[in-house]
Structure 1
Amino acid sequence: MLTERQLNILRLLIQTYTSTGVPVGSKTLMNEGIKASSATIRNDLGLLEELGLIEKTHSSSGRIPSVEGYRFYVDNLLQPLTVSSRDLSLIKGSFGQEFSAIDDIIKRSAEILSDLTSYTAFSLGPDVKDRRLTGFRMVPLNSQQIMAIIVTDKGNVESQVFNIPEDVSNEDLEKMIQLINDTLVGEPLLTVYQKLRTEIPLLLQQYFHTPAGVMNLFNEILGHAFEERVYVGGQMNLLDFDVMTDLSQFKSVYSLMDNPDQLTELISPADSDIDIRIGHEINNDLLENMSLITASYDVAGHGKGTIALLGPTNMSYSKVLGLVDAFRQELSQELTEYYRLLDYDGQEDLEGETRSD
């Protein structure tokens, strides 16, 4: 069991190293406030090294924290710093603009968090399972391509360009639009997903001469409505991490950022509201010299979302943890207010329709 002095030495060593990036020696610790002789501090450093909590970069150097040392610090010594009024103002000011869709807020949140920390940030919106399909359109771009626009009641707008299969005619496209609007618009996305695998194939057999091509287009277009899109901010900040050993590692990690399934799995939150995984705990060999902080946020009546930060193991945990906590609360308020306005506008539209009837 560590003494109070040894705990203070470990805490101060980690805080100093994460701030300066320079190995820490006994004299530095004395100057930073440890009330003991240089010899006593060296003995304590030797014990901490034997326990695997710190290590030397070479024989005559000061010490740096080990991965185990960071884990001990996070679990036992970490105290989040209070976010400065300047940073709070930056967070609030960054959200102070007009947004036309929920996804715009989610995307912006990743950019803001990355700018605040200089790390790579991720943002995932509330669960899609409760969304309802409220609008669908197709816009012809040319003879080979269309743009499909999908709207849900949660303010999400998805638009994407698709190639038209050779065996699908303009008449088929018009039938598709009619079929989607007649049978799927107004339904929860889970119901849409189920109908795509049960009712829709049977209907296509009845109404189309070449149902296979139409079904493939159906799946391509509506499949995107079920994706949990992870937005990434500050991908190029990866280059600033000293832990990147070579260009091939950077390319591999950068490719990971473009894989939505892997990203969703990577930042899936633990049971706690805020979780810190260090090195091998991330369960990805590419990230074994990094740390990942994930935090969940609640949007009243609309589920939970996730934000995350990927940085080097020597990140300033106390500062970053305080920022992440403040940020998730601000994002929660921003999304809750946006949903409230959506619900209010929808209620006004409904009342207007009732009066007109």
Structure 2
Amino acid sequence: MFDDKDGESEERVYLGGTLNMLDQPEFRDINKVRSLFSVFEENNKLKELLSHDQKGLSIMIGAENADQVFKNCSIISATYQINGKQFGSVGVLGPTRMDYGKAIAIVDYMNKQLDRIADREAPEDPDLDQEGRQLREQRKNKSSVCKRSGR
């Protein structure tokens, strides 16, 4: 979410590398690709896909994904925060046979960098509660925790 010039928050979804999916055998069926790409055009579904309340990384494989369109996909995502409050998400979507070690490392790295940048750029929040202050300290001192979410 970003604050616009009127002070209202605006949610944006950025996609990259979607055409790379066409190189994967799982996505050679035009109907599967059409279904996936139609979801990509629906910002609300994408936000739901990437959003979670879990701290650390979230990994959903195949049928664990809520939407049937993603039954042949895995989604690795993480949320980043500003002043202890969820601000955004970053993730990777790919076939269930993806290189999980590589994808997890990329999402974790990007999440840590976004957290670091957001904390550096954000003004100190006077309303930051004790839990928010503890989370900020933990991020400075520890690495991310990876949890697998099941549905």
Residue aligning to 1:259 = 42
Instruction: Please state how far the C-alpha of 1:278 moved relative to its aligned partner.
Output: 0.5
Question: How far does the alpha carbon of each residue in 1:74-128 deviate from its partner, in whole angstroms, 9 at most, with x for none?
Answer: xxxxxxxxxxxxxxxxxxxxxxxxxxxxxxxxxxxxxxxxxxxxxxxxxxx4xx6
**C-alpha spacing 1:329/1:255, structure 2 compared with 1 (3 Å):** same
Counterpart-to-counterpart distance in 2, 1:296 and 1:233: 18
Normalized per residue, the structure richer in strand is 2
Residue aligning to 1:284 = 67
Instruction: Please state how far the C-alpha of 1:338 moved relative to its aligned partner.
Output: 3.0
Residue aligning to 1:297 = 80
Alignment of 1:315-326 (within 5 A): 315-326=98-109
Residue aligning to 1:44 = none
Maintained 8 Å contact 1:299/1:333 = no
**C-alpha spacing 1:317/1:301, structure 2 compared with 1 (3 Å):** closer
Question: How far does the alpha carbon of each residue in 1:1-37 deviate from its partner, in whole angstroms, 9 at most, with x for none?
Answer: xxxxxxxxxxxxxxxxxxxxxxxxxxxxxxxxxxxxx
Residue aligning to 2:54 = 271
Residue aligning to 1:222 = none
Instruction: Please state how far the C-alpha of 1:336 moved relative to its aligned partner.
Output: 2.6
Residue aligning to 1:248 = 31
Normalized per residue, the structure richer in helix is 1
Instruction: Please state how far the C-alpha of 1:301 moved relative to its aligned partner.
Output: 5.8
Maintained 8 Å contact 2:73/2:94 = yes
Give the secondary structure class of the aligned counterpart of 1:232. coil
Whether 2:5 is the aligned partner of 1:151: answer yes
**C-alpha spacing 1:320/1:313, structure 2 compared with 1 (3 Å):** same
Residue aligning to 1:336 = 119
Counterpart-to-counterpart distance in 2, 1:301 and 1:318: 27
Give the secondary structure class of the aligned counterpart of 1:329. helix
Counterpart-to-counterpart distance in 2, 1:317 and 1:264: 22
Instruction: Please state how far the C-alpha of 1:270 moved relative to its aligned partner.
Output: 4.4
**Aligned residue pairs, count:** 123
Give the secondary structure class of the aligned counterpart of 2:54. coil
Give the secondary structure class of the aligned counterpart of 1:238. helix
Give the secondary structure class of the aligned counterpart of 2:27. coil
- RMSD, matched Cα: 2.2
Question: Is 278-287 or 297-306 further displaced after alignment?
Answer: 297-306
Counterpart-to-counterpart distance in 1, 2:86 and 2:71: 31
Give the secondary structure class of the aligned counterpart of 2:25. coil
Runs of 4+ in 1 over 4 A off after TM superposition: none
Give the secondary structure class of the aligned counterpart of 2:97. coil
Counterpart-to-counterpart distance in 2, 1:284 and 1:292: 12
Alignment of 1:12-51 (within 5 A): none
* Residue identity matched to 1:285: Q
* Bigger Rg, structure 1 or 2: 1
Counterpart-to-counterpart distance in 2, 1:311 and 1:339: 32
Give the secondary structure class of the aligned counterpart of 1:311. strand
Maintained 8 Å contact 2:22/2:28 = no
The percent of aligned pairs where both chains have the same amino acid is 31
TM-score, L = length of structure 2? 0.70
Residue aligning to 1:159 = none
**C-alpha spacing 1:276/1:303, structure 2 compared with 1 (3 Å):** closer
Instruction: Please state how far the C-alpha of 1:261 moved relative to its aligned partner.
Output: 1.0
Instruction: Please state how far the C-alpha of 1:302 moved relative to its aligned partner.
Output: 5.5
Instruction: Please state how far the C-alpha of 1:234 moved relative to its aligned partner.
Output: 1.3
Residue aligning to 1:168 = none
Which residue, out of 3, 12, 15, partners 1:229? Answer: 12
Instruction: Please state how far the C-alpha of 1:152 moved relative to its aligned partner.
Output: 4.6
Counterpart-to-counterpart distance in 2, 1:259 and 1:246: 21
5+ residue gaps, structure 2: 124-151
Alignment of 1:99-110 (within 5 A): none
| Greater RCO structure (CA 8 Å; 6+ sep) | 2
**C-alpha spacing 1:336/1:270, structure 2 compared with 1 (3 Å):** closer
Counterpart-to-counterpart distance in 2, 1:272 and 1:337: 20
